[in-house]
Chains A and B, each alone.
Chain A
Amino acid sequence: MSDHAAAHEAPTSTGIDHKKLIMWLFLASDCMFFGTLISTHLLYRKLFPAGFTDAEGHQRFIQDLFSIELTSFSTFILLMSSFLMALAVSAMHKGQLKSFRRNVLGVIIFGLIFLGCQVFEFTHFYHKGLTIQNSVLGSTFYVLTGTHGTHVAIGVLWLILLYFYSFTGKLGGHMGALDVEVAGLYWHFVDIVWIIIFTAVYLVEYLGPYGIWGSGLPAVVK
């Protein structure tokens, strides 16, 4: 979404490009967005540490579902995509369009792998009995990670469009580098949100026999 004032490169009062400033403001706003989602999940984990009841009426724990291998793998993939994105931005700054394309293609592929992992995870959890409808855990988990996944998907779409746009020859110079950098900021933000989710939603569930929230479990359930 390029724009006249920025495109015209009128000097700004602060020396910061409009697009970069607006993206950072958006990210500040998005902090509140994901803060709300993550805290909704955490407070329901705090209130209902026991997990959910599946279709057969069995008490299930979230630890029964999580696969640390899968989550670690997708976390690693997302972190490395962030690295490639940083390289893609760097390439654009240097005016190396080919290097940009190579790196951004890597980001796109890694992003798609991450999304694939999430689709796999969702189907896996669904077959083990966790649905959006049978518990608050299902609602908060699917909506939180699903919203993050939507952010990833939008990022992938954006990068794919940038990738193809780079072949038109119109992506270049200061404005081109800025367009890529702004897309990169978005992508990195999606990555750092996952860094938080990985710890706050996944890892803490492995602490102690019933996860960090398990201390609140009624004795009967334990």
Chain B
Amino acid sequence: MSHDSHHAPVACKTELAPERSDLGLYRPDRATGWTDWLTTVDHKKIGIMYGAFAMMYFLIGGVEALAIRTQLARPDNDFVTARMYNQLFTMHGTTMIFLGVMPLSAAFFNFLVPLQVGARDVAFPRLNAFSLWTFVFGAFVLNASWLFEFGHLAGWFDSFAWHKALVYTDFAPANGWFSYAPLSGTFGANGQALRFTGVGTDFWIIGIQILGVASLAASFNFICTIINMRAKGMTMMRLPVFTWMTLVTSVLIILAFPAITVALIELMFDRAFGANFFNPSAGGQPVLWQHLFWIFGHPEVYILVLPAMGIVSEVLPTFTGKSLFGYPIIVFSGAVIGFLGFAVWSHHMFTTGLGPVPTAAFSLLTMAIAVPTGVKIFNWLGTIWGGRIRFTPPMVLALGFIWMFMCGGFSGVMHSSAPADSQQQDSYFVIAHFHYVLLGGVLLGLMAGLYFWFPKIFGRMPNAPVAYLGSALVILGFNLAFGPMHYLGLAGQPRRTHTYHAGNGWETWNFVATIGAYVLGIGVVIVFGNLVWTAFRGKKCGNDPWDGRTLEWSLPSPVPEYNFAQAPVVASRDAYFEHKHGAKKIGAENDGGEAGVHMPSQSWMPMLASAGFLFIGFGMPMMAMGIPHAGWLVITGLGVLFLGIWLWALEGPGGYMLKTPAPSGAPAPAETVAH
């Protein structure tokens, strides 16, 4: 490496001499402040940014949810129009799934995976930055549809010719989070491409496509990191369960996202170029969209829930003082869930008329997938059983996860029975089910993770009483909001309907659900507000406040940028816990110290490449609006994307050496290679 010679090891990167990349540009290695955050390739900073954006979008999605619940608080309400209601529930679902839960999971992946496997960074640090910025720009494109919508409502566009020519004017997506064709597609023969919906759908198509790129790039990176960058002695069966679940989730993402990528391309061709993939007037099969969507969509459900399961599998052992009950079974169950997750997509489509044999097959497989999930729950219960439980905020949230997720699981198994499902399809019962899974399950799990690892991330301890209050309000409000929906669904209230008449017997429980939603909202604000306050003002805490079990707790809080001063050598599962309380299980390789640790150079290029998606993301919907010359935006975007990748390849890998505290000289434990 020709560049390493430029750098003697330094204690802090601001002491580096200015250095030019192969392109002759100065590398932003010495940057501080904003530039540092924009060009960083440090997985910890990237993780923090993922988390911050995810929490912001959680709040945006929450406001949308509260608007929905306000509208439904009483019969024949007119708080929002039907048109606005469609946009609200579509953006609520899309935001929560793609901009809330997935990035928050990605925040944990980023921050924790390298620390848990004992690595100094991910396999491809710049690709990691690219994933982050692509997510940020994709999320912005998706939400920019609201800006156009508000512009439209305010009448800013009224004088333009293109605006007068629009037939449908919903600028924010309005087809539901799965955008079923033909509603999202076209009709009419010979490429007329007449539409049922406005350009909101085009925003949705390109937004999800960009977010897919971000997820795919990140997942390739994490699989590489987990498989290839484990510390010495960190065998696959010694990996923390969270890392295992990250691996399974990433595999699901790389195998499930291509289906939606192609489906989106096909839908885009239908809408933009008059193709006939889902056009019923020309023989296109709208049900194909459902198949392709759910081939992606069902694994997506596990993509959402497996990281939370991984978090809970870390939190429970820590606060019971016991090792995880049945580690291999938990890992294996997670993998089986991932595998079976690809074989059950049609249970979302029982009412489309699959025929008796496929219906029976998908019904059986869906029941089968409940088994590994149940196995995990019993393993968690086994972990708690007989443990010395400490009811810290993360533990409370994790216990809430088990309880609420089980409720969601029970109503899920009910859906696996096709005859029952055809009664429940598109009713509030389904809403109740998946909110118990996604909110009672995933969100509680993620919140547990936030409270668990915040002391590690910022070196500050969240305020416990406030955390208990927030958690209690979240769990109470959540049950108040979604418990009654079971009843409402079975009583026949259809989902995605902007209002209902009085006299159906739905009034009381809808009102209760709305109150619950507001309590939940207040709870979430308290929980998140507490965290934000902690990040800046919280009480400082030690490196290992919870008596943690995995490698990340052996590091200082906040974690230094090189992670491990000496690369660790590991001799058991839960190595750090064993190390503290029994035989020494963690050693160190003789590196670092004055010789320095090799650090990757920071770069503008990942962000530049991602910026291409911003142009494409605005160009495609603006083309659909009929704005003149919008096509050039798309072409510019492709050019910027190419330019970013090209300069990225040419700037050279760079890198510099950072001094670390002197080697402790801890020898590697003897049993490293055993097992």
For residue A216, give the distance in angstroms from its CB to the closest CB of chain B. 14
Please state if B191 and A133 are interface contacts (CB–CB under 8 Å).
yes
Q: List 15 A-B contacts (CB under 8 A).
A: A2-B653, A3-B123, A4-B121, A4-B654, A8-B653, A18-B224, A22-B223, A29-B216, A30-B258, A36-B263, A40-B292, A44-B283, A133-B275, A136-B277, A143-B265
Residues of B within 8 A of A22 (CB): 123-124, 220-221, 223-224
Partner of B228, one of A8, A16, A48: A16
Asked if residues B126 and A3 are in contact (CB atoms below 8 Å), the reply is yes
Say whether B645 contacts A14, CB under 8 Å: no
B124→A3 contact, CB < 8 A: yes
Contact of B269 among A26, A139, A161 (CB under 8 A): A139
Contact of A1 among B254, B265, B598, B648 (CB under 8 A): B648
B414 within 8 A of A: no
With a CB–CB cut-off of 8 A, which chain A residues contact B255?
Answer: 28-29, 32
Q: Is B227 an interface residue (CB 8 A)?
A: yes
Q: How far is the CB of A94 from chain B (nearest CB, A)?
A: 23
**B323 contacts the other chain (Cβ, under 8 Å)?**
no
Q: Is the CB of B266 within 8 A of A40?
A: yes
Given contacts A1-B648, A2-B653, A25-B223, contact A132 B273 (CB under 8 A): yes
Q: Number of contacting residues on B, CB 8 A?
A: 59
Question: Could you tell me which residues of chain A, from 1 to 29, have a CB within 8 Å of some CB in chain B?
Answer: 1-8, 10, 12-14, 16, 18, 21-22, 25-26, 28-29
Q: Nearest 10 pairs between A and B by C-beta?
A: A133-B191, A4-B600, A139-B275, A33-B258, A32-B258, A36-B262, A12-B228, A133-B274, A7-B653, A29-B254
How far, in angstroms, from A2 to B1 measured CA to CA in the complex?
12
From residue A148, how far is it (CB to closest CB) to chain B in Å? 12
> Is B288 among interface residues, defined by CB-CB distance under 8 A?
yes
Q: Contacts A3-B127, A3-B653: A135 and B276 contacting too (C-beta < 8 A)?
A: yes
Partner of A33, one of B125, B230, B262: B262
Residues of B within 8 A of A147 (CB): 265
Indicate whether B257 reaches chain A with its CB closer than 8 angstroms.
yes
Contact, CB under 8 Å: A4 / B275: no
Tell whether A59 is near chain B: CB-to-CB under 8 Å: no
Smallest distance from the beta carbon of A22 to chain B beta carbons, Å?
Answer: 5
Chain A residues with CB below 8 A from B601, complex form: 4
Q: Are B228 and A36 in contact (CB under 8 A)?
A: no
Instruction: Report if A123 contacts B (CB, 8 A).
Output: no
Contact with B along A125-138 (1 / 0, CB 8 A): 00000011111101
- Using a CB–CB distance below 8 Å, which chain B residues touch chain A? 1, 22, 121, 123-127, 190-191, 216, 220-221, 223-224, 227-230, 234, 254-259, 261-263, 265-266, 269-270, 273-277, 279, 282-285, 288, 292, 295, 598-601, 645-646, 648-650, 652-655
Q: Which of A26-83 contact B (CB under 8 A)?
A: 26, 28-30, 32-33, 35-37, 40, 43-44, 47-48
> Which residues of A are found within 8 Å of B22, using beta-carbon distances?
170
Query: Is the beta-carbon distance between B266 and A25 smaller than 8 angstroms?
Result: no
Interface membership of A140, Cβ < 8 A = yes
Q: Is the CB of A36 within 8 A of B121?
A: no
A8 partner residues in chain B, CB cutoff 8 A = 1, 598, 653, 655
Q: Which of the residues A37, A143, A165 comes within 8 Å of B275, measured between beta carbons?
A: A143
Q: Which chain B residues border A25 with CB–CB below 8 Å? A: 220, 223-224, 254
Write the nearest CB–CB distance from A215 to chain B, whole angstroms. Answer: 19
A33 to B1, alpha carbons, bound, how many Å?
Answer: 37
Measured CB to CB, the nearest residue on chain A to B609 is A1
In the assembled complex, the Cα of A5 lies from the Cα of B269 at a distance in Å of 40
Told that A25-B254, A36-B261 touch, could you supply 17 new A-B pairs with CB distance under 8 A? Answer: A1-B648, A3-B126, A4-B598, A7-B653, A10-B598, A18-B228, A21-B228, A22-B223, A25-B224, A26-B254, A32-B255, A36-B292, A43-B285, A132-B269, A132-B274, A133-B191, A139-B269
Closest to B605 in A: A1
Q: Which residue of B lies closest to A23 (CB)?
A: B220
- Would B645 and A1 count as touching, CB distance under 8 A? yes
Given A26-B220, A29-B254, A30-B258, do A2 and B649 touch, yes or no (CB 8 Å)?
yes
Q: Return A184 CB to nearest CB of chain B, in Å.
A: 16
Min C-beta distance of B564 to chain A, whole Å: 13
Chain A contacts for B123, CB-based, 8 A = 3, 5-6, 18, 21-22
Q: Known contacts A4-B654, A134-B190: does B273 contact A29 (CB below 8 Å)?
A: no
Q: Are A47 and B275 in contact (CB under 8 A)?
A: no
**How far is A100 from B123 in the complex, measured between Cα atoms in Å?**
28
The interface on chain A, measured as residues whose beta carbon lies within 8 A of the other chain's beta carbons, has a size of 46
The answer for the CA separation of A6 and B123 in the assembled complex, in Å, is 8
Find out whether the CB atom of A32 lies under 8 angstroms from the CB atom of B259.
Answer: yes
Q: Could you say which residues of chain B place their CB within 8 Å of the CB of A35? A: 258
* B600 contacts A5, C-beta separation under 8 Å: yes
Question: B533 to chain A: closest CB distance in Å?
Answer: 36
Contact across chains for A161 and B646 when beta carbons are under 8 A apart: yes
Query: Nearest Cβ in chain A — how far from B240, in angstroms?
Result: 15
CB distance from A170 to the nearest CB of B (A): 7
In the complex, A215 Cα to B164 Cα: how many Å? 50
- How many whole Å from B307's CB to the nearest CB in chain A? 19
In the complex, the chain B residue whose C-beta lies closest to that of A37 is: B262
A32 to B260, CA, bound (A): 10
In the complex the two chains form, what is the Cα distance from A202 to B99 in whole Å? 42
Closest to B342 in A: A32
Q: Is A4 a contact of B258 with CB atoms below 8 Å?
A: no
Residue of B nearest to A25 (CB): B220
Chain B residues in 8 Å Cβ range of A18: 123-124, 224, 228
Residue on A with the closest CB to B228? A12
Inter-chain CA distance A170–B279, complex, in Å, is 51
A146 nearest CB neighbor, chain B only: B269
- Kindly state the separation between the CA atoms of A74 and B346 in the bound complex, as whole angstroms: 39
Give the distance to chain B from A34, nearest Cβ to Cβ, in Å: 8
- A147 CA to B285 CA in the complex, in Å? 21
B261: which of A5, A33, A142 is its contact (CB, 8 Å)? A33
Asked whether A134 and B191 contact (CB < 8 A) given A18-B123, A139-B269, the answer is yes
Among A29, A43, A165, A170, the one with the most B-chain Cβ atoms within 10 Å of its Cβ is A29
How near does chain A come to B2, taking the closest CB pair, in angstroms?
A: 9
Question: Does the CB pair B654–A13 fall under 8 Å?
Answer: no
Which residues of B lie under 8 Å from residue A142 when comparing CB positions? 275
In the complex, chain A residues 104-153 whose Cβ is within 8 Å of any chain B Cβ: 131-136, 138-140, 142-143, 147
With a 10 A CB-CB cut-off, give which of B125, B262, B263, B599 has the most chain A CB atoms: B262
A37 contacts which chain B residues (CB < 8 A)?
262
In contact, B288 and A40 (Cβ under 8 angstroms):
yes
Q: Of all chain B residues, which has the CB nearest A26? A: B220
Q: Give the residue of B216, B234, B277 whose beta carbon is less than 8 angstroms from that of A40.
A: B277
Interface centre among B282, B285, B652, by most chain A C-beta atoms within 10 angstroms, is B282
Bound-state Cα–Cα, A119 to B314, Å: 56
Distance to closest chain B CB from A175 (angstroms): 9
The answer to whether B223 and A139 touch across the interface, beta carbons within 8 angstroms, is no
B600–A14 touching, CB < 8 Å:
no
- Which residues from B are CB-within-8-Å of A12? 228-229
Least CB distance from B351 to A in Å reads: 21
B654 x A1 contact (CB < 8 A):
no
Query: How far apart sit A16 and B226, CA to CA, in the bound complex (Å)?
Result: 13
Q: Are A132 and B191 in contact (CB under 8 A)?
A: yes
A2: which B residues are within 8 A, CB to CB? 649, 652-653
**Nearest chain A CB to B272 CB, angstrom units:** 11
A32 surroundings in chain B (CB, below 8 A):
255-256, 258-259
- Known: A3-B127, A4-B125, A30-B258. Contact between A136 and B284, CB under 8 A? yes
Chain B contacts of A140 at CB under 8 A? Answer: 277
Contacts of B654 in A (CB 8 A): 4
Most buried by A among B123, B648, B649: B123
Name B193's closest neighbour in chain A (CB-CB).
Answer: A133
